[in-house]
Amino acid sequence: MPLFDFVCTACRHPFEALVRGSAVPACPACGSTALERQLTLPAIKTSSTHGMAMAAAKRRDAAQGKEREHAQREYERNHDD
Ligand SMILES: [Zn+2]
């Protein structure tokens, strides 16, 4: 089922609606069916960018963790004797 983003042209209320066939959704704020369908799919876009941001954060944390580990080992090696 396709999920579309709409903006109500009557009250400018943005909302998402599942559209089946030729069914026309109505604005949940004012009940108007005068809607603009948005071309972007923020639900998919935000989840994927969020996933990418999370992956980037994890990579950054892992890199920082390795860096700290390495520095600690260097310190221990240089101060062993
Ligand atoms: Zn409306």
Mean pLDDT by 10 residues, the chain (81 residues): 88 92 89 88 58 78 81 84 70
Beta bridge partners of 60: none
Spacing, Cα 41 to ligand 1 middle (Å): 20
Spacing, Cα 33 to ligand 1 middle (Å): 8
What is the per-residue pLDDT for 36?
A: 93
What is the per-residue pLDDT for 22?
A: 79
Under 8 Å CB-to-CB from 3, ≥6 apart: which residues?
A: 16, 17, 18, 19, 41, 43
In which domain, by residue range, is 18 found? 1-40
Same domain, 81 and 46: yes
Question: Number of folded domains in the chain?
Answer: 2
Long-range contacts, stretch 74-77, CB < 8 angstroms, 24+ apart = none
Spacing, Cα 66 to ligand 1 middle (Å): 53
* pTM flag (> 0.75): no
Same domain, 20 and 49: no
Same domain, 68 and 81: yes
Give the CA count within 13 Å in the CB-facing half-sphere of 56.
6
Same domain, 10 and 31: yes
Same domain, 27 and 49: no
What is the per-residue pLDDT for 57?
A: 79
What is the per-residue pLDDT for 62?
A: 82
Spacing, Cα 19 to ligand 1 middle (Å): 17
Spatial separation of the C-alpha atoms in residues 67 and 58, rounded to whole Å: 14
Same domain, 36 and 59: no
Spacing, Cα 58 to ligand 1 middle (Å): 41
Same domain, 10 and 21: yes
